[in-house]
Amino acid sequence: MFDVLVYLYETYWRPDACPDHAQLTRKLTAVGFEDDEIQEALNWLEGLSAAGEAFHGQQSVSAMRVYSPGETDHLGETSVGFISFLESAGVLPGPMREMVIDRAMAIPGSPMDLEDLKIIVLMVFWSLGEEPDALILDELFVAPEDRLIH
């Protein structure tokens, strides 16, 4: 599923640039993705759209987010720490954070793999038509061991 999401991010500027589901399914099949992987990704994207509507218009408040035990278990310490890092850096306001958590909770298996969470963060930005700044893109895509230290 995550391969399909990354392909959509790289291929379509914004979600509204994607063709309708039937045509998109045909295109993804032609590229070589499996039907179950495509359907899982498209269902996940529908949930992302619903989450965007649910959290749209909420004010970003300076409040501490307390994770439920189920969220902590599912996300794992590393993912919770990464979400907190993005919040403290000022790039993940409350409503977007809630979208990330909502979509991460929709993924089976725990704890959440950090690389998968980074794709979820990227897809939340994408779904809102926002481009993360260069430093955040670096954090999302470049492995720590590959970073140049100045």
Higher pLDDT residue, 15 or 29?
29
List phi, psi (to 5°) of 18.
-75, 145
Of the candidate ranges 25-29, 72-76, 145-149, the one whose mean pLDDT is the lowest: 145-149
Whole-prediction pTM: 0.85
Q: How would residue 37 be classed by pLDDT, with cut points 50, 70 and 90?
A: very high
pLDDT band with cut points at 50, 70 and 90 for residue 147: very low
What is the pLDDT, as a whole number, of residue 150? 43
pLDDT digits (tens, 9 = 90+) for 113-133: 999 999 999 999 999 988 877
- pLDDT for res 89: 87
* 45: amino acid identity, one letter: L
**Which pLDDT score is estimated for 141?**
66
Average pLDDT rounded to a whole number, residues 92-115? 93
Mean pLDDT, the chain, as a whole number?
86
Residue 103: pLDDT over 90: yes
Residue of 138 and 16 predicted with greater confidence? 16
Q: Angle CA(109)–CA(111)–CA(113) in degrees, nearest 5? A: 90
Helices (H), 32-88: 35-55, 69-88
Q: Which of 121, 117, 109 is nearest to 73 (CA)?
A: 109
User: Mean pLDDT lowest for which of 23-32, 60-69, 112-121, 132-141?
Assistant: 132-141
pLDDT score of 148 more than 60: no
